[in-house]
Amino acid sequence: MTARIVATLAALFGLATLVAGMRVMGGADPGYVVFPALLVFNTIMGAVYVVAAVVIWRNPRRGRTWARTIAATNLAVLLVIIGLYATGAAVAVDSVGAMSLRTLAWGLALLALWRTR
């Protein structure tokens, strides 16, 4: 997979994340309990994903650093919300699943960028 394909997918993923977050912030009901801090984090990260996509497109080497940082950040947040969910905090299982998807997606993006050296 070329870096430009990764960049395109990252941009689309970022735009989808940004739009979804902004819709919920605007009052749309996602159908599950919203953990406000996670909503804000994911919405901001949607914008970061779009910036990362531009970096990946222009400079895949620097893009690997962005992908690594995003994957690690998402993993850290995933571990926190798993812990919160396990202790009965107001974190929906849907949020754990969505954060797992984000973490996996950026892990795969990083893997793809490593393979396109």
Does residue 42 carry a pLDDT above 90?
yes
User: Which carries the bigger pLDDT value, residue 30 or residue 18?
Assistant: 18
The predicted-structure confidence for 63-115, as pLDDT tens digits, reads as follows 999 999 999 999 999 999 999 999 999 899 999 999 999 999 999 999 999 99
Tokens of 108: 């795969």
The tally of domains found in the chain comes to 1
Secondary structure class of 34 (helix, strand, coil): coil
Q: Are 34 and 24 in contact (CB under 8 A)?
A: yes
Domain that holds residue 7: 3-115
Average pLDDT, the chain: 95
Name the band, by pLDDT with cuts 50, 70 and 90, for residue 30: confident
Q: What is the pLDDT of residue 13?
A: 96
Q: What is the pLDDT of residue 116?
A: 82
| Closest listed residue to residue 13, CA positions, set 87, 60, 71 | 71
Residue-by-residue DSSP string for 78-96: HHHHHHHHHTT-S--HHHH
| Closest listed residue to residue 50, CA positions, set 101, 103, 14, 16 | 14
Q: In the predicted model, what is the mean pLDDT of residues 4-24? A: 96
Query: Is the pTM for the entire model greater than 0.85?
Result: yes
Q: Which regions of 45-105 does DSSP assign to beta strands (E)?
A: none
